[in-house]
């Protein structure tokens, strides 16, 4: 039940009064959904159950399970918890036998203090017998990397790790093993926990020139990519394993640590830095890593930049609110202002296709926000509104269950023949207000703006609009349904935001 208490944190949420099984609703009968042990929702008049992931109910038809058939009744995953360790420690360790021998006792001690089951994985190249010897001594395993470089080593480790969490650390004694305990304690707050030299309270004891270079590179890259991370190059991290699933990394060198962060943000995972004191390595020393990190990163910067600024990134709309591109910022803020004005006083809102917009955080108490993309919802958890993964073509809610329905910047992305407008009207209560936003393609301003926008923000929304509406067409469409047109707002005379009253 705890999962749900967190998920549906708004006690006034109309969620439970409105929610129903989407499979059964489509088939013509209503089955309300109730919590089933905290990890799923089950139908009260049917045998369907739906998982809850990251506190978000997954109410898609394809997510429906028939209860009792291969059902793990409430367990979040089907992994064999008994056999699998809680933590996989991945240590790129090419020719680091001597350092490993010093590192491992302290690491094992920390694990024992934490009382977590763990596995030790040292990644090296074939023939590194020294490392193999030490690992055998400590009951660890050696994994031979198939691709070169630090990135190649991490990828080999990720592939073989079976723990629920992965700890990555260097073998060279610059990462004190005791700090694992601090990171482990923070694992509930973020999926990626970084031991950070540069966040408040952290420190780095390294030669001045290397320190300077590292700070400059980190500041430049975190700003360039708009990531609120001060120590992007720290290779000491605790990562929840399933957050890495499905990420296919391009980097093979030290730049993989940045790529993991960019992809984590793109997927809506939480990243947290905790201050740590970086200790200088005892055996050997080099500026090499800092320089290599910089060079490798410059090579992949463009790819990471595109990924970071893609509309598919979980926090796209949230970031657009503060974009350095004036047009984008003005747009998001105008949309925010008009939408919040038009929903004001109408009661709890169902926001269909909420994305990661800050509007989610401004919805009145009791509201529910829906999107098809789980990564956007993961990001949106910070707004504290009840979130549901669902399709706008088959909303998992009873007829006439919300006094206000909002759908902004969605309908231009789906075919006109789709059932989305029917669905918006269906879940809206009689006398309720529909707030609908989409570009007006009958104005000359919109096509011009779209071209400009596509030019300044490649990878933005410009190429994604498949259905073109106009003010006239929308008013006619809704008047035919008996709706009364109540308000019209324009952003730069291109984006249209309309309010209609259902009879």
Among 21, 168, 350, 428, binds Zn ion (CB under 5 A): 21
CB of 395 to Zn ion, least distance (A): 14
Under DSSP, the state recorded for 23 is H
Looking at 195-279, list the stretches that DSSP marks H as alpha helix, in order from N- to C-terminal side.
Answer: 208-224, 241-244, 256-266
Stretch that binds Zn ion, among 4-12, 18-26, 161-169, 441-449 (CB under 5 A): 18-26
Q: How far apart are CA 485 and CA 474, in angstroms?
A: 10
CB of 69 to Zn ion, least distance (A): 14
CB of 46 to Zn ion, least distance (A): 3
The yes or no reply on residue 46 touching Zn ion (CB under 5 A) is yes
Query: Closer CB to Zn ion, residue 20 or residue 100?
Result: 20
Task: Name residues whose C-beta falls within 8 Å of residue 189's C-beta, 6 or more positions apart in sequence.
Answer: 270, 272
- Could you tell me the CA-to-CA distances from 300 to 158, 166, 213, 311, 497 in Å, in that order? 21, 24, 19, 19, 39
Query: Closer CB to Zn ion, residue 28 or residue 246?
Result: 28
CB of 21 to Zn ion, least distance (A): 3
CB of 180 to Zn ion, least distance (A): 45
Q: How far apart are CA 428 and CA 409, in angstroms?
A: 18
**CB neighbour burial string for 248-287, b if at least 16 within 10 angstroms, e if fewer:** ebebbbbbbbbbbbbbbbbbbbbbbbbbbebbebeeeeee
CB of 474 to Zn ion, least distance (A): 33
Q: How far apart are CA 311 and CA 298, in angstroms?
A: 23
Stretch that binds Zn ion, among 43-51, 110-118, 130-138, 191-199 (CB under 5 A): 43-51
Give the footprint of Zn ion on residues 48-67 (CB under 5 A): 48
Strands 56-57 and 48-53 turn out to be antiparallel
Query: Closer CB to Zn ion, residue 44 or residue 295?
Result: 44
Q: Is the dihedral of CA 26, 380, 238, 181 positive or negative?
A: negative
Stretch that binds Zn ion, among 42-50, 101-109, 226-234, 419-427 (CB under 5 A): 42-50
Stretch that binds Zn ion, among 14-22, 174-182, 271-279, 416-424 (CB under 5 A): 14-22
Do 269 and 378 meet the contact criterion of CB atoms below 8 Å apart?
A: yes
Query: Closer CB to Zn ion, residue 24 or residue 380?
Result: 24
CB of 43 to Zn ion, least distance (A): 4
Among 15, 19, 33, 43, binds Zn ion (CB under 5 A): 43
Under DSSP, the state recorded for 271 is E
The site for Zn ion, by CB under 5 A, has a size of 7
CA triplet 127, 176, 252: central angle to 5 degrees?
45
Stretch that binds Zn ion, among 45-53, 305-313, 377-385, 462-470 (CB under 5 A): 45-53
Stretch that binds Zn ion, among 13-21, 128-136, 151-159, 307-315 (CB under 5 A): 13-21
Query: Closer CB to Zn ion, residue 46 or residue 142?
Result: 46
The yes or no reply on residue 31 touching Zn ion (CB under 5 A) is yes
**DSSP one-letter string for 466-501:** ---B-HHHHHHHHHHTTPEEEEEEEETTTEEEEEEE
Contacts to Zn ion by CB under 5 A = 21, 23-24, 31, 43, 46, 48
């Amino acid at each position: 039940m705890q999962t749900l208490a967190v998920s549906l944190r708004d006690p006034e949420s109309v969620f439970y009064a409105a929610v129903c099984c989407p499979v059964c609703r489509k088939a013509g009968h209503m089955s309300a959904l109730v919590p089933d042990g905290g990890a799923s929702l089950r139908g009260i008049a049917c045998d369907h159950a739906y998982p809850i992931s990251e506190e978000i109910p997954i109410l898609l038809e394809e997510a429906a399970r028939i209860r009792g058939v291969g059902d793990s009744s409430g367990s979040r995953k089907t992994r064999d918890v008994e056999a699998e360790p809680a933590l996989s420690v991945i240590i790129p360790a090419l020719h680091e036998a001597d350092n490993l021998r010093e590192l491992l006792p302290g690491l094992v001690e920390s694990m024992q203090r934490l009382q977590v089951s763990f596995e030790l994985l040292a990644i090296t190249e074939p023939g590194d017998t020294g490392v193999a010897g030490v690992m055998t001594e400590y009951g660890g395993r050696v994994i031979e990397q198939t691709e070169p470089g630090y990135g190649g080593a991490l990828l080999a480790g990720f592939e073989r790790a079976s723990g629920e969490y992965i700890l990555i650390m260097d073998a060279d004694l610059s990462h004190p093993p005791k700090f694992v305990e601090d990171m482990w304690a923070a694992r509930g707050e973020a999926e990626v926990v970084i031991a950070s030299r540069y966040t408040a309270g952290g420190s780095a004891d390294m030669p001045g020139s290397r320190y300077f270079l590292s700070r400059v590179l980190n500041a430049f890259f975190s700003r360039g990519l708009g990531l609120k991370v001060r120590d992007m190059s720290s290779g000491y991290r605790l990562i929840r394993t399933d957050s890495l699933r499905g990420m296919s990394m391009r980097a093979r060198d030290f730049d993989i640590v940045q790529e993991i962060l960019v992809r984590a943000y793109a997927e809506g995972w939480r990243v947290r830095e905790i201050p740590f004191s970086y200790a200088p390595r005892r055996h050997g020393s080099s500026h090499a890593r800092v320089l290599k990190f910089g060079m490798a990163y410059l090579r992949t910067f463009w790819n990471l930049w595109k990924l970071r600024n893609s509309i598919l990134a979980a926090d796209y709309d949230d970031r657009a609110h503060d974009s350095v591109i004036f047009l984008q910022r003005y747009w998001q803020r105008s949309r925010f202002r008009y939408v919040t004005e038009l929903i004001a006083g109408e009661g709890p809102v169902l926001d269909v296709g909420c994305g990661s917009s800050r509007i989610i955080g401004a919805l009145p108490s009791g509201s529910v926000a829906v999107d098809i993309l789980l990564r956007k919802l993961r990001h949106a958890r910070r707004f504290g509104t009840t979130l549901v993964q669902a399709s706008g073509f088959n909303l998992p809610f009873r007829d006439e269950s919300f006094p206000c329905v909002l759908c902004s910047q969605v309908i231009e992305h789906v075919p006109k023949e789709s059932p989305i407008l029917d669905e918006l009207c269906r879940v809206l209560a009689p006398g309720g207000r529909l707030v609908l936003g989409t570009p007006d393609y009958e104005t000359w301003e919109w096509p011009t703006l779209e071209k400009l926008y596509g030019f300044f923000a490649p990878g933005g929304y410009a190429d994604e609009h498949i259905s073109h509406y106009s003010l006239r067409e929308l008013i006619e469409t809704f008047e035919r349904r008996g709706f009364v047109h109540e308000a019209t707002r324009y952003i730069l005379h291109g984006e249209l935001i309309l309010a209609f009253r259902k009879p």
